[in-house]
Amino acid sequence: MPNLLVKPSRTSGRVVHVTPENAGWTYVGFDVVKLAPGEAHGAETRDREVCLVLVSGKARVQAGDLETGTIGERMSPFEGKPWSVYVPAGSRWRVTAETDLVLGICSAPGRPDSRPARLIGPDACSQETRGKGSNIRHVTNILPETEPADSLLVVEVITPGGNTSSYPPHKHDRDALPEESLLEETYYHRLNPPQGYAFQRVYTDDRSLDEAMVVEDGDVTLVPRGYHPCATIHGYDLYYLNVMAGPKRTWKFHNAPEHAWLLKA
């Protein structure tokens, strides 16, 4: 099993690179690219669909026949909803930074030319607040299962300081619909202020997988299977960008039975 905690490898360019091959799984890919104004980054999607998420900064995006002009409003992932672009398999994309830019590149298997590239603006992203008490978190749906795609599910979450998230612990590692779907998942973590830290545990019922990790600003965690709750410390808000994909594009999860009472408390 690869290390579930992925640290940024550089300070600019492609700083995170998660592939099915280096993650030891089948579906999810995730990169983080940092660009200075005027720099560009692009690729061919080949047999994978892509969701480009402007984590922070402004940019111009070309994807297939789509040319966005300048998009992006927030200079921090804690400043409102994102701008994103969906790119189908069998296409090519290029992003040119207008300001300092942090770009999340989410990918999963796709069918070539199954649909056109499209812009996903902030107004297209629904929001909801989940939990109560010290288990509050704020969710922004970028590419939910109600929107067209082949494999990808993409969501942002902000957890206020001192709160838990992805909690009570839940998992989605069995292809057993309608009760549970099999989805691999990555978490791209950011902290505000950035010198903070949070915690994430990934574990299975039989504890054959059981890792507890300290996550810092810019870290990525891998969830190949099992439960995966997070907690951030007082004074430091936690942002994470989730990418999920599996054999069926639906999110059906199973709560840890010993903690399910929390949902009724």
pLDDT in tens, 58-94: 999 999 999 999 999 999 999 999 999 999 999 999 9
30 pLDDT above the threshold of 70 = yes
pLDDT in tens, 205-225: 999 999 999 999 999 999 999
237 pLDDT above the threshold of 80 = yes
For 21, the enclosing helix (H) or strand (E) is: helix 20-23
Across the range 235-255, mean pLDDT stands at 98
Torsion angles phi and psi, residue 259, rounded to 5: -110, 0
Q: In the chain, what percentage of residues exceed pLDDT 70?
A: 99
- The pLDDT-based confidence of 2 (bands split at 50, 70, 90) is low
1 pLDDT above the threshold of 60 = no
Burial of residue 154, with CB atoms counted within 10 A of its CB: 0-12 exposed, 13-18 middle, 19 or more buried: buried
142 pLDDT above the threshold of 70 = yes
Ranges of each domain in the chain: 5-263
Q: In the chain, what percentage of residues exceed pLDDT 90?
A: 95
> What pLDDT is recorded for position 132?
92
Across the range 140-148, mean pLDDT stands at 97
pLDDT in tens, 246-262: 999 999 999 999 999 99
In the block, which residue shows the tokens 């870290």? Answer: 219
The structure tokens listed for 186 are 């990555």
Torsion angles phi and psi, residue 61, rounded to 5: -125, 130
> What pLDDT is recorded for position 264?
84
265 pLDDT above the threshold of 80 = no
Pairing type for strands 48-56 and 84-87 reads: antiparallel
- Average of per-residue pLDDT values in the chain: 96
Q: Which CATH class is domain 5-263?
A: mainly beta
In the block, which residue shows the tokens 């400043």? Answer: 79
Cα distance between residue 213 and residue 188, in whole Å: 13
The structure tokens listed for 54 are 């402007």
pLDDT in tens, 106-125: 999 999 978 999 999 999 99
Cα distance between residue 141 and residue 126, in whole Å: 5
Q: Is 104 left (phi over 0), alpha (psi -120 to 50) or beta?
A: beta
